[in-house]
Amino acid sequence: MIKLSDYVAKRLVEHGVKHVFMISGGGAMHLNDAVGKCKGLEYICNHHEQAAAMGAEGYSRVTDKLGVAVVTTGPGGTNTLTGVIGQWLDSLPALYISGQVKFTTTVASCPEAGLRQLGDQEINIIDIVKPVTKFAQMLKDPYQVKYVLDKAIHIATTGRPGPVWIDIPLDVQAALIDETKLAAYEPEAPIPFRTDLKIQAAKTVEMLRAAKRPVLIAGHGIRIAGAQELFGKLADALKIPVLATFAGFDLVPNDSPWFAGRIGTVGTRGGNFSLQNADLVLSLASRNNIRQVSYDWANYARNAKKIVVDIDPAELVKPTVKPELPVCADVKDFMAALLAALPKAGAGDFSGWLAWCRERSVKYPVVLEEYKKLKTKVNPYHFIETLTGMLKPETSVVAGNGSACVCLFQAGIAHKGQRIFWNSGCASMGYDLPAAIGACFGSGRKEVVCLAGDGSIMMNLQELATAAHYKLPLKIFVLNNEGYISIKQTQDNFFEGRHVACDSRSGVGFPDFMKVGEAFGLHTEIIDNVSDMSGKIARVLAVKGPALCDVRLPADHKFMPKLSSEKKPDGSMVSKPLEDMWPFLDREDFKSNIIG
């Protein structure tokens, strides 16, 4: 006989799980004990369940494996929600195991009573997480433990991945079970796609041959499918411009001969000019979200026929982008079929078009010369280009919301094979530090660079203690613009510059980050001018353990270029198409970038 909690820990190891992000609690006491004594499992203690959830995500993003978090009843579960939602939206596999009060004191044991709570610190977590997980179940029958655990892990990691949740009452956690009598889970055979990939691939080749200006869009799903290498092969075979997406940023290294910019509302001019002049878009495993297609989605690649490949049929019939050729398939299978269908010489000679696209990025660089000449403080684009240019491919970069991800997406240098990521769909402040901690454990404690806004880091500041405790080689660069610049810009654009809840003058106070770093026992550095920026970055990177660098940015820097609405004289706002980014180009110059 074995205690159920010990079986759970053992089974996790059998599934290849090595790390568990965990915060202890009375409601999870048997689980905590089991994880703690299980050989082959290392538990990582965060200081907030949101951080544990985001840590599990960062871990999953660098390992391409399941992230696991164990939390307690009540707030232990509810604290994770923002992390869970991020994984739901960005399709990342994560398993949550929560402790629950004894079954006889759960509301679930007496649903007819209409109670809010029966047990101490009880909350019905399953009903709360159901809409944002692929599978969520309270384990009531101890003999179902293997079935439920195996099923949850299977569901989390197959198809379009996502988070799953198992809630285990205390009495079930403690139950003794006979391992030989456990119900087993046999995954159902996947429903075969009705899509005939040979036909779809042939159609794609036909459309490529008919095109003059095709582009390839690299979506985050390529990584989810484990198809990065195949994608590289496909790009080499097609020899057409490749555009990077917000969530798939690091799939296209800067030195790729096919790289033609980054697209979307905070993309680059080069990327968006290429997209908007295309006559064929082959979109691979990108969900074409609003940040990519803009609110003016009717004008998204308006002259292009669109082939959209997605594993989730719902993404192919949504109200925004309407593909001429929707392909519901695992992108890896589709790419293999396309490569097989493609003639040796590719689908045509697109070298002139490719050169045109690549020239746009040279003509309209993100990092302007004037940024490099600031007398005091540093410009975030200049800083990020310099920092990322100095990194080794094996250093992962994790960013939070705001300038950290926007400026990184626009100006960052991605090296081949490097992991650079943030959460796109949830875009929560507070993501950077805990996800970077998770990435550090996932990469075997390799160096991780964390880019955090001064606003964002405040939301999970307690995790500096986690970084310090585990002596992680984490290099935290706080992009300190004395407030929420993302919000300030919106208030400047839409509310005549009335600042509300975005900086110290409007209610948001900040600490001295050097002192904060010191208080947590981190090496600290400050970068407040360009003169020795590279030297100081190098110093931070050379630190063995965790370091915090306070990077002083102007308090009024702007995201540039950026898609903005135009305010008409009557006060109405008009959405601009993606190619017409702010600051608006001189009209003649603008027109010179529009073909036809």
Q: Which residues bind ligand TPP (CB under 6 A)?
A: 400-403, 427-430, 453-456, 479, 481, 484-487
Residue 106's H or E segment, with its range, is none
Q: Measured from the CB atom, is 250 or 454 closer to ligand TPP?
A: 454
Rg (CA), the chain: 25
**Least separation in angstroms between CB 406 and ligand TPP:** 7
**Least separation in angstroms between CB 482 and ligand TPP:** 8
Q: How big is the CA angle at 191 (ends 188 and 192), to the nearest 5 degrees?
A: 135
Q: Measured from the CB atom, is 231 or 484 closer to ligand TPP?
A: 484
Q: Measured from the CB atom, is 178 or 556 closer to ligand TPP?
A: 556
88 burial (CB, 10 Å; 0-12 / 13-18 / 19+) is: buried
User: 25 has which bridge partners?
Assistant: none
**Least separation in angstroms between CB 27 and ligand TPP:** 26
**Least separation in angstroms between CB 181 and ligand TPP:** 46
**Least separation in angstroms between CB 460 and ligand TPP:** 10
**Least separation in angstroms between CB 265 and ligand TPP:** 14
What torsion, rounded to 10 degrees, do the Cα atoms 209, 215, 221, 225 define?
A: 40
Contacts of residue 538, Cβ cutoff 8 Å, sequence gap at least 6: 390
CA distances 419 to 48, 58, 128, Å, are: 25, 10, 32
Residue 313 identity (one-letter amino acid): P
Q: Measured from the CB atom, is 413 or 426 closer to ligand TPP?
A: 426
**Least separation in angstroms between CB 403 and ligand TPP:** 3
Q: Measured from the CB atom, is 59 or 484 closer to ligand TPP?
A: 484
Instruction: Output the six-digit token pair for 279.
Output: 């006559």
DSSP H stretches of helix in 102-196:
125-129, 145-157, 170-174
Instruction: Output the six-digit token pair for 212.
Output: 């003059």
**Least separation in angstroms between CB 86 and ligand TPP:** 11
Neighbours of 517 (CB within 10 A): 23
**Least separation in angstroms between CB 503 and ligand TPP:** 9
Report which residue's Cβ sits closest to ligand TPP. Answer: 453
Q: Measured from the CB atom, is 429 or 433 closer to ligand TPP?
A: 429
Residue 350 identity (one-letter amino acid): F
User: 284 has which bridge partners?
Assistant: 218, 309
Q: Measured from the CB atom, is 143 or 494 closer to ligand TPP?
A: 494
The conformation of residue 424, written as its DSSP 8-state character, comes to: S
Contacts of residue 235, Cβ cutoff 8 Å, sequence gap at least 6: 216, 242, 256, 258
Strand spans (E) along 355-473 = 396-399, 420-421, 448-453
How is the chain split among helix, strand and coil, in percent rounded to 5? 45, 15, 40
Instruction: Output the six-digit token pair for 392.
Output: 């080794």
Q: Measured from the CB atom, is 129 or 426 closer to ligand TPP?
A: 426
Helix/strand/coil for 462: coil
Q: Measured from the CB atom, is 67 or 425 closer to ligand TPP?
A: 425
Task: Specify the pairing of strand 2-3 against strand 176-177.
Answer: antiparallel
Each residue of 523-549: b (16+ CB within 10 Å) or e? Answer: bbbbbeebeebeebbeebbebeebbbb
Neighbours of 180 (CB within 10 A): 5
Helix/strand/coil for 551: strand
**Least separation in angstroms between CB 196 and ligand TPP:** 42
Instruction: Output the six-digit token pair for 295.
Output: 């609110």
The whole-angstrom separation of Cα 216 and Cα 94 is 30
**Least separation in angstroms between CB 374 and ligand TPP:** 17
Q: Measured from the CB atom, is 9 or 551 closer to ligand TPP?
A: 551
Q: Measured from the CB atom, is 92 or 508 closer to ligand TPP?
A: 508
**Least separation in angstroms between CB 509 and ligand TPP:** 13
Q: Measured from the CB atom, is 440 or 461 closer to ligand TPP?
A: 461
